[in-house]
């Protein structure tokens, strides 16, 4: 908890970096909402447009707070929810007006869906050239895979990243975090910020096309370059590194796992001392990283046997005494109480006015000068429909009532329904 003095100092800082920016969020599930949450954490006004039944992620089991899934709560803080039926003429007209009243529109429908509904980014940008339109899709807005459905694990598999993940000789496994979705959201946020910077100079917006598969292919990074250079298809790596044989994980005496990154010759010498394997330090087969790599299959069994002499907790100070980077492979219960995670406020508490509360992972973007956002609990479905349409589009109470009667908009469910934590 911050002291009163700290809170006063924070409130005296300039506004968050994206204060005054309006983003219309037409995304659902994970890739888009994760990216727009990043923009919301940076201070943008993010209007989350939902159909009357809500973002599908509101209903993902197994954990719920009231009627909303913890999945939804984890990626939609600091936003406003407006529930509009875009399939009605009045609803479509409202969305067009909201788009034209925004600086950025982000959508992650399958290519062509919004066009068929009558909401075309090209037409909106022609009407408002400063608008930034960002589309996130599985495979991009063109190409032979354009119309294929895509989910995180599909792009992990097709990109080749999944082929590198898992133990040698075993089937491939997906990354433990949904990196296909999350990376697309992060690339989208980065591209939007670049477009905003360009708009400052030119006054013109842009149309951004983010493909989940492109993002995963880009993240092959040096491993992709290795193949392009050598023609050798890399195998699954387990916890090892495909260049540095002393950059990998080991099982310890208590069955826990630790990872070390002994990258330099100095670290190699220190590792030999820590493991009581001093005789290996000057062995010609392991003298330099090149020799250690060439003879890694002979080296690894000796290291694995040595690591079984102590527990993970005992190894950490022994290795740190030799200035060797080391980390225990933490389970999530240990992560949440880790002193560094706690110190950096990476476990965040969110509180709604009606009593709902949740703990979620925090915002890693820390600015020395700019003030952080207030960190608002994710909105109930349609919670902000009336306020946003009233203040952003200037609609009257009578006009809003007519839209409700026509089924074009939906308002928040009764607060009492959302109070009960599941």
* Contact call for residues 350 and 376 (beta carbons, < 8 A): yes
Burial class (CB in 10 A: 0-12, 13-18, 19+), 321: exposed
Please state, in angstroms and rounded to a whole number, the distance separating the CA atoms of residues 190 and 39.
Answer: 10
Residue with tokens 């990243």: 161
d(Cα 109, Cα 135) in Å, to the nearest integer? 8
* Whole-angstrom distance, CA of residue 86 vs CA of residue 98: 12
**Strand 45-50 versus strand 64-65 pairing type:** unpaired
Preceding peptide of 396 cis, ω within 30°: no
Query: Active-site residue numbers?
Result: 181
Q: Which two tokens stand for residue 79?
A: 């936003």
Distance (Å, whole) CA 286 – CA 53: 63
The DSSP result for 193-262, as a single string, is HHHHHHHHHHS--EEEEEEHHHHHHHTTHHHHHHHHHH-PPP---TT--SS-TTEEEEE-TTS-EEEEE-
- Which two three-digit tokens encode residue 197? 């910077």
- Stated as kind and residue range, the H or E segment containing 33 is helix 31-41
CA–CA dist 417, 54 (Å, integer): 15
How many C-beta neighbours within 10 Å does residue 29 have? 19
CA angle 79, 108, 381 (to 5 degrees): 35
Pair of tokens at residue 369: 């000068």
C-alpha to C-alpha distance for 56 and 72, rounded to whole angstroms:
9
Determine the Cα–Cα distance for residues 27 and 134; give it in Å rounded to an integer: 10
Radius of gyration of the chain (CA): 26
Strand partners, 250: 258
């Amino acid at each position: 908890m911050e002291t009163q003095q700290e809170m006063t100092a924070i409130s005296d800082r300039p506004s968050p970096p994206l204060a005054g920016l309006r983003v219309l969020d037409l995304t659902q599930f994970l890739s888009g909402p994760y990216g727009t949450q990043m923009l919301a954490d940076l201070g943008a006004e993010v209007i989350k447009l939902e159909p009357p039944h809500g973002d599908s992620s509101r209903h993902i089991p197994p954990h719920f707070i009231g009627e909303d899934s913890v999945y939804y709560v984890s990626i939609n803080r600091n936003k406003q929810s407006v529930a509009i039926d875009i399939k009605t003429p009045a609803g479509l007209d409202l969305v067009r007006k909201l788009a034209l009243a925004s600086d950025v529109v982000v959508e992650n429908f399958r290519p062509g869906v919004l066009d068929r509904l009558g909401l075309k980014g090209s037409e909106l940008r022609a009407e408002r050239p400063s608008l930034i339109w960002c589309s996130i899709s599985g495979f991009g807005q063109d190409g032979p895979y354009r119309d294929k459905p895509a989910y995180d694990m599909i792009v992990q598999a097709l990109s080749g990243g999944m082929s590198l993940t898992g133990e040698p000789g075993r089937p491939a496994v997906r990354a433990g975090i949904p990196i296909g979705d999350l990376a697309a959201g992060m690339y989208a946020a980065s591209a939007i910020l670049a477009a905003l910077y360009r708009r400052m100079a030119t006054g013109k917006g842009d149309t951004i096309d983010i493909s989940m598969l492109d993002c995963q292919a880009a993240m092959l990074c040096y491993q992709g370059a290795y193949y392009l250079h050598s023609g050798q298809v890399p195998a699954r790596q387990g916890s090892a590194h495909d260049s540095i044989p002393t950059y990998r994980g080991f099982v310890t005496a208590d069955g826990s796992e630790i990872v070390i990154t002994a990258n330099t010759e100095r670290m190699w010498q220190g590792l030999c001392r820590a493991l009581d394997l001093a005789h290996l330090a000057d062995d010609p087969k392991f003298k330099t990283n090149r020799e250690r790599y060439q003879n890694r299959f002979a080296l690894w069994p000796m290291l694995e046997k040595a690591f079984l002499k102590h527990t993970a907790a005992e190894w950490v100070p022994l290795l740190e005494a030799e200035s060797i980077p080391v980390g225990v492979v933490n389970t999530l219960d240990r992560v949440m109480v880790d002193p560094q995670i706690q110190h950096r406020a990476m476990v965040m508490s969110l509180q709604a006015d009606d009593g709902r509360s949740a703990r979620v992972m925090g915002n890693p973007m820390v600015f020395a000068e700019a003030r952080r956002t207030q960190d608002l609990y994710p909105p109930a479905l349609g919670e902000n429909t009336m306020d946003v349409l009233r203040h952003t589009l200037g609609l009257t109470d009578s006009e809003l009532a007519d839209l409700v009667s026509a089924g074009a908009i939906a308002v928040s469910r009764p607060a009492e329904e959302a109070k009960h934590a599941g």
